[in-house]
Amino acid sequence: MADKRDYYEVLGVEKSADDAAIKAAYRKLAKKYHPDVNPGDKDAEAKFKEASEAYAVLSDAEKRRQYDQYGHAAFEGGMGGQGGFDFNGMDFGDIFGDLFGDLFGGGRRGGARSNGPMKGANLRTSVRMKFEEAVFGCTKEIELTVKENCKTCNGSGAKPGSSVDTCTKCGGKGKVVYSTQSFFGVMQNVQTCPDCNGTGKVIRDKCPDCHGSGYIPMRKKYAVEFPAGVDNGQCKRMQGLGEPGQNGGPRGDVLVEAVVDRHPIFQREDRDLYSTVPISFAVAALGGEIMIDTVDGKPVVYEVKPGTATDTRVRLRGKGVPSLRDPKNRGDHYVLLTVQVPTKMSAKAKDLLKQFDAECGDTLGAADRYRAEHTDDGDGTDPKKKKKKGLFG
């Protein structure tokens, strides 16, 4: 057994791996190296056998316990008191059937699956809406190409006066079993019948209008109601408007995706809204009332406190986006106040601002005061008027 690799190494898992991790690792390797996927590849066949042997041991609690205690020697027949383990006697059909179903086929004793009713495929489309429409809900019209029952054949697909026959290849089951020879023996693969495409029925004389499909494509318009609070990328499901089902199964659904336009003022994050409102220096310094635009379309009056700094954030409770579950429950609106600095001023305004500055500490003259206070360096001479001396004085 010295030439055998460690089973954990073969599957690429740690010794502490649980059953799910071991199963997932083996599934990946088995799909990659299965002989049916790599016909004639001896190296892939050897790796598949090696991975299957490792999984056969590590997936069994008792065999894994023996292997952890004695290694490969546990299955030579002389260790552990269990009489060894014969790998060739493993039922790989059960293993493959459990892991892969119809991919390896026939391993489970249930045989081919019954050709029962199947739901039709879903269709997807999208519709564009304004920001406010998404916030408060709206109704949009969409146009779809849907398959309706052919009136000529009543949905049978057969030419009037002809019949629909049971498929002779699959016997009406919709599935056929193919047997392949591998080093494990004969393996069975269950596939969709190519003659009837899984329907179990064969139409000899097809309807001239629907060409045997049983359906006629038609353009139809539908009104789609989006609830208040729908967000960009969310879908409204319209049941029963998708592709027709098979063998009497129900139709699929239509998923309509909301594509919401951007807003020039508001940004949305879940149920909260964000915006920026500029305020004048006078309002920021003295305080006062300002008007804040809201998504409702009506501005609200907000009292700015005196001495408000720029980038102050205020909160308008209940002015955000309604909840999808309860439209009365709305998020909040957060507003960032930014102080505007005037860029164009009249001469009178400039004089008044200078007077204001003089009353508030004369910040405009701070540099002049500093220079005046530091002109004398101690010898009574202005540093600006001093002559530079040479290297030797």
β-strand pairing of 254-260 with 123-129: parallel
pLDDT tens per residue, range 293-324? 999 999 999 999 999 999 999 999 999 999 99
Fold of 267-339: HSP40/DNAj peptide-binding domain (2.60.260)
Q: Is the pLDDT of residue 30 over 60?
A: yes
Reported confidence tier of residue 272, pLDDT bands at 50, 70, 90? very high
Locate 120 and state its tokens. Answer: 């039709």
CATH architecture under which domain 123-260 falls: Ribbon (2.10)
* CA dist., res. 309 & res. 97, Å (int): 70
Residue 51, both tokens: 């991975």
- Measured CA to CA in angstroms, residue 302 lies from 213, 316, 332 at distances of 65, 9, 15
For residue 175, the surrounding DSSP H or E stretch is strand 175-182
Given a cut of 60, whether residue 382 has pLDDT beyond it is: no
Confidence class for position 87, pLDDT limits 50, 70, 90: very low
Residue 370 backbone zone (phi > 0: left; psi -120 to 50: alpha; other: beta): alpha
Whether the predicted pLDDT of 125 surpasses 90: yes
Structural contact between residues 218 and 145, judged by C-beta atoms closer than 8 angstroms: yes
Task: Quick: pLDDT tens for 210-247.
Answer: 988 889 999 999 999 999 999 999 999 999 999 988 77
Q: What are phi and psi of 352, to 5 degrees?
A: -65, -40
Residue-wise pLDDT for 156-191, tens only, equals 888 898 888 888 888 888 888 877 766 556 666 788
DSSP tally for the chain: helices H, then strands E:
9, 15
Widest CA span of the chain, in angstroms? 126
Q: Which pLDDT value is given to residue 293?
A: 96
Query: At residue 143, what are phi and psi to the nearest 5 degrees?
Result: -125, 125
Domain range list for the chain: 7-90, 123-260, 267-339, 357-385
* Alpha carbon 204 to its chain's center: 45
Please report the DSSP string for 266-297 in residue order. -EEETTEEEEEEEE-HHHHHH-EEEEE--TTS
pLDDT computed for residue 316 by the predictor: 97
Nearest partner of 231 among 264, 269, 276, 266, judged by Cα:
269
One-character DSSP codes across 93-133: HHHHHHHHGGGT-S-STT-SPP---BPPPPEEEEEEE-HHH
CATH pick for 7-90 out of 1.10.287.110, 3.30.70.141, 2.60.120.10, 3.40.50.2300? 1.10.287.110
CA 338, 340, 345 angle in degrees (round to 5)? 175
Contact call for residues 289 and 277 (beta carbons, < 8 A): no
Q: What is the pLDDT of residue 305?
A: 95
Report the SS3 class of residue 75. Answer: helix
